[in-house]
A = this chain, B = another copy of it.
């Protein structure tokens, strides 16, 4: 399945969340990721994310679609490469 993921977590947890999400998806910008992922892997990712998050403060939103073909993607301006350094 194709997913778009975005998180909003406290500063102390940003590094861990970034690292976790980059293991499963392609990083787009800031706290924003996309990619193809199996349902099992997505479940794994959400379980690990919940362990990092303080669920009363942080949030994680996942949009998922069975295939990418229903989504058009338009980029305006600079496209940041997923190989950029980002701390």
Residues of A within 8 A of B (CB): 4, 6, 8, 28-32, 46, 49-50, 53-66, 70-80
Contacts and interface: CB of A to CB of B under 8 A. Distances in A.
Contact of A78 (B6, B57, B62, B75): B57
In the assembly, how many copies of this chain are there?
2
A77 B62 CA distance: 12
B71 A49 contact: no
A29 B59 contact: yes
Nearest to A5: B74
Nearest to A78: B59
Interface centre among A30, A53, A54, A57 (most CB of B within 10 A): A30
Contact of A76 (B49, B63, B80): B49
